[in-house]
Amino acid sequence: MDKAKTLADVETLRDEQVRKQQAELAALKPTQTAERRRLQAEIRETNEAAGCRAAQLQIAAARGSEGMRTRKAAADARIYGETNCDGRLTLFGSDEPWDEELNPLVVSWVPDFVNKWINRQIAHGKDNVARLQHDPGLFVKAMLGAVPSALFLLVPVFALLLKLAYVGSKRLYLEHLVVALYSHAYLCLAILTFFLLMALDNAITPKWAGFGWITGTLEFLIWMWMPIYLWIMQKRVYGNGWLLTSLRYFVIGNLYFVLLGFAVVFITIASIVRM
């Protein structure tokens, strides 16, 4: 299919292939369920490959007719269709590609409506991943949007880490939770300030090159001050010596950022599915 030179060639190849597959399907017995499902999936793949190649040819024709004008891949995908002809999705080492109707993911120990919901989410995710390939900026937005949510979700977890690190201090979990809330409020304000500086940089630097050096320095200082501030705050709140505070800070910080990384990845994936 990918060697077809014109839309007419695509249509001819598609019709020939589908006719053969439909003839094989008609020759099967009704009891040959697995084979029938396989052929139905092949027919769908043939139609998808034809649509994909047709989109490639139409986009190429549009670009050729418009000369040097820039075309956006995301807009072309929306108008003409997906151009990635190798969009097969296999799950958990399966030889057959995933399909919401013909080869869905089935978890045996959950109700049927849960399996349907899971497969709908997989379908949404697959469609949105194709969108991300044409517009990588959507992934950046999803990831940046996941950071505040991850910070919010990890407030009680961070308080629990403090409780474990300072076991024997006779401080209640609620006291550690207050420390966690203040810490995360500071982190959110620092990140907000960082993004505001980035916005100012994009707006002013093209007109005044020196402003880029100023914002770059401020952004660097913010990133450097964030861990230092939390380190000093931990020392003042809990009143231990610098060595013991540093040890606890290092252990808690490493555990926390591992958890934060997992949370950001999970929320980013969820955001892509809901996009």
Which pLDDT tens digit goes with each residue over 21-37?
999 889 888 888 888 88
Structure tokens at 102: 């013909």
pLDDT score at 88:
66
Q: What is the predicted pLDDT for the residue at 92?
A: 62
DSSP-assigned states of every residue in 62-93? HHHHSTT----HHHHHHHH----S------TT
Output the CA–CA distances (angstroms, integers) from residue 250 to 81, 87, 231, in the order listed. Answer: 50, 44, 9
Residues 39-79: pLDDT tens digits?
888 888 888 889 888 888 888 888 888 877 778 877 787 78
Q: How far apart are CA 33 and CA 31, in angstroms?
A: 5
pLDDT band at 142 (very low <50, low <70, confident <90, very high): confident
Q: What's the confidence (pLDDT) of residue 220? A: 93
User: Distance between CA 16 and CA 43 in Å, rounded?
Assistant: 11
Inform me whether the pLDDT recorded for 95 exceeds 90: no
Q: What band does 212 get if pLDDT is binned at 50, 70 and 90? A: confident
As a whole number of angstroms, the distance between CA 18 and CA 268 comes to 39
Q: Which residues pair with 136 in a beta bridge?
A: none
Least confident of 67-71, 90-94, 161-165: 90-94
For residue 240, give every residue at least 6 positions away whose Cβ sits within 8 Å of its Cβ, in sequence order, or none. 248
Averaged pLDDT, 86-114: 75
- pLDDT given at position 169: 83
Q: Is the pTM of this model over 0.75?
A: no
Confidence of residue 102 (pLDDT cuts 50, 70, 90): confident
